[in-house]
Amino acid sequence: MKHIVKILSMVLAVFAFWIGLLQAAIIPPSYTWLVISTLLIYTVVSLGCYGLLMVGIGLMQFPTCPQEAFLLQQDIVEAKDFFKHKGVDVGSD
């Protein structure tokens, strides 16, 4: 939820800045659509980069869970036993 608030506030700030520029007539009206499309492209690219950065940080800080690893190993042993009783070759131990 916090990331959504950050993103929406950033978008709101960009649009407020854009409306301020239009009201002050700093940008000529003939360039309006060009600048709008450029800002939208930069916004999409920036959000994509932000998303990739968050995924990368999440992967670097991925927590280790020794208890879950132990439970997973138990599940693997149970599955091997189950398939051995069914006659499936599960490989060497």
Boundaries of every domain in the chain? 2-62, 64-93
Burial (Cβ within 10 Å: 0-12, 13-18, ≥19) of residue 10: middle
pTM for this structure? 0.45
pLDDT at 1: 59
- Nearest Cα neighbor of 11 from 48, 33, 40, 50 is 40
67 pLDDT higher than 80: yes
Q: Are 3 and 54 in contact (CB under 8 A)?
A: yes
Q: CA–CA separation, 42 vs 37, rounded Å?
A: 9
For the chain, strand residue ranges (E) read none
pLDDT at residue 27 greater than cutoff 70: no
